[in-house]
C-alpha cells in the first residue's frame, strides 16, 4: 500500500482556465482569478513480480485527488461567477523497477511506467448579475469526465523491517494527459472549449456549430496535461525474494 502527498506543477491547463469567460461576446471583458489546485494526495495499491534479484515489474491501481480549484470571474456587464472544482483521477499503471543494495537491509530502487487514467471534474457554483431589482441568480453545476494516459518516474529507498516486510520512502513524478472533458453541465451535455482567441468557456456540444458560425472562430476542447512531484510512503510484503 502507498500514500503520497504532492505539489502540482502549474501549466497550460491552469493558463487556459485563467482565460475563462462566461460569455463569448467580444464586447464583454472579464477579470478572472484562479487559485487552489496546487497540492495532491495519492492512494495506491500494487503487486510486483520478480524477474531476477534486481529487476521487477508490477501493476499499480490508485487514485489521485487535487486540492479544490476556485475560479471567480467579474465581467464588464456586471456579472459575477464563482466556480468550485473538485478534480480526482483513477489510474492503472504498468511499472518496471530496478533495485540495488546500498547497505545492510537498505536498497535503492528506480522505476518508470505508464498506463491509463480516468478523471472526474465536479463543478459547483453560481452566477449573479444585473442591478436591483432585476438581479438574476443562476446555479452552476457540472459533472465532467475525461480519460487518457498517465506516466510515472520514481526513485525510492527501501528498508527491510522484518524478513520479508519493507518500508519505502520515495519521490516520483506523476503526469496525466487527457485530451478532453465532457459531461453534464447545467442539465446539458457540454464540454469546456477554447476559442481561437484563447477564451475558454462551457458550451453545449450540440451547439458548437452555431457558436462557431456566430463568433466566426474555431473551437477545440480543453485538454489537460499536468504533472505533480509526489513524496510517498509505502509498506509492502515480499513473498519471494
pLDDT in tens, 184-217: 999 999 999 998 888 898 988 888 777 776 666 7
**Region 138-162: what's the mean pLDDT?**
96
- Higher pLDDT: 161 or 217? It is 161
**Region 122-138: what's the mean pLDDT?**
89
- Position 93 scores a pLDDT of 97
- Going through the chain in order, the beta strands assigned E by DSSP cover 2-9, 30-36, 39-50, 55-66, 69-75, 79-103, 106-129, 136-160, 165-178, 182-185, 188-195, 200-204, 219-221, 224-237
CB-neighbour burial class of residue 135 (10 A; exposed 0-12, middle 13-18, buried 19+): exposed
CA distance 99 to 85: 39
Binned at pLDDT 50, 70 and 90, residue 101 comes out as very high
Binned at pLDDT 50, 70 and 90, residue 163 comes out as confident
CA distance 130 to 136: 6
Binned at pLDDT 50, 70 and 90, residue 137 comes out as very high
Binned at pLDDT 50, 70 and 90, residue 72 comes out as very high
What is the number of structural domains in the chain?
1
List, for residues 44-70, the tens digit of each pLDDT value: 999 999 898 899 999 999 999 999 999
CA distance 203 to 228: 29
- Higher pLDDT: 19 or 131? It is 19
Is the pLDDT assigned to residue 85 strictly greater than 90?
A: yes
Among the ranges given (72-86, 94-108, 128-142, 175-189), the one the predictor scored with the smallest mean pLDDT? 128-142
CA distance 111 to 46: 13
Domain of residue 219 covers: 2-237
The 10 Å CB-count burial string (b at 16+, else e) for 64-79 is bebeebebbbebeeeb
Rg (CA), the chain: 22
Q: What pTM does this model have?
A: 0.89
**Region 124-149: what's the mean pLDDT?**
91
**Region 105-109: what's the mean pLDDT?**
94
Amino acid at each position: 500500500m502507498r500514500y503520497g502527498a504532492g505539489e502540482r506543477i502549474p501549466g497550460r491547463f491552469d493558463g487556459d482556465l485563467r482565460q475563462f469567460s462566461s460569455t463569448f461576446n467580444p464586447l464583454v471583458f472579464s477579470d478572472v482569478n484562479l487559485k487552489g489546485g496546487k497540492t495532491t494526495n495519492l492512494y495506491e495499491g500494487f503487486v510486483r513480480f520478480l524477474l531476477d534479484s534486481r529487476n521487477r515489474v508490477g501493476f499499480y491501481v490508485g487514485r489521485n485527488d487535487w486540492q479544490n480549484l476556485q475560479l471567480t470571474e467579474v465581467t464588464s456587464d456586471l456579472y459575477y461567477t464563482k466556480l468550485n472544482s473538485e478534480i480526482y483521477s483513477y489510474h492503472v499503471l504498468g511499472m518496471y523497477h530496478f533495485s540495488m543494495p546500498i547497505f545492510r537491509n537498505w536498497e535503492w530502487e528506480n522505476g518508470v511506467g505508464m498506463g491509463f487514467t480516468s478523471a472526474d471534474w465536479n463543478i459547483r457554483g453560481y452566477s449573479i448579475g444585473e442591478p436591483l431589482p432585476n438581479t438574476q441568480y443562476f446555479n452552476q453545476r457540472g459533472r465532467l469526465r475525461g480519460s487518457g494516459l498517465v506516466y510515472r518516474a520514481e526513485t525510492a529507498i527501501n528498508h527491510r523491517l522484518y524478513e520479508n516486510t519493507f518500508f519505502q520512502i520515495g519521490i516520483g513524478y506523476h503526469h496525466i494527459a487527457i485530451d478532453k472533458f465532457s459531461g453534464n453541465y447545467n442539465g446539458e451535455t457540454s464540454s469546456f472549449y477554447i476559442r481561437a482567441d484563447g477564451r475558454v468557456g462551457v458550451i453545449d456540444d450540440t451547439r458548437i456549430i452555431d457558436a462557431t458560425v456566430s463568433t466566426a472562430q474555431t473551437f477545440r476542447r480543453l485538454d489537460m496535461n499536468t504533472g505533480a512531484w509526489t513524496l510517498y510512503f509505502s509498506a509492502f510484503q515480499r513473498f519471494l525474494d
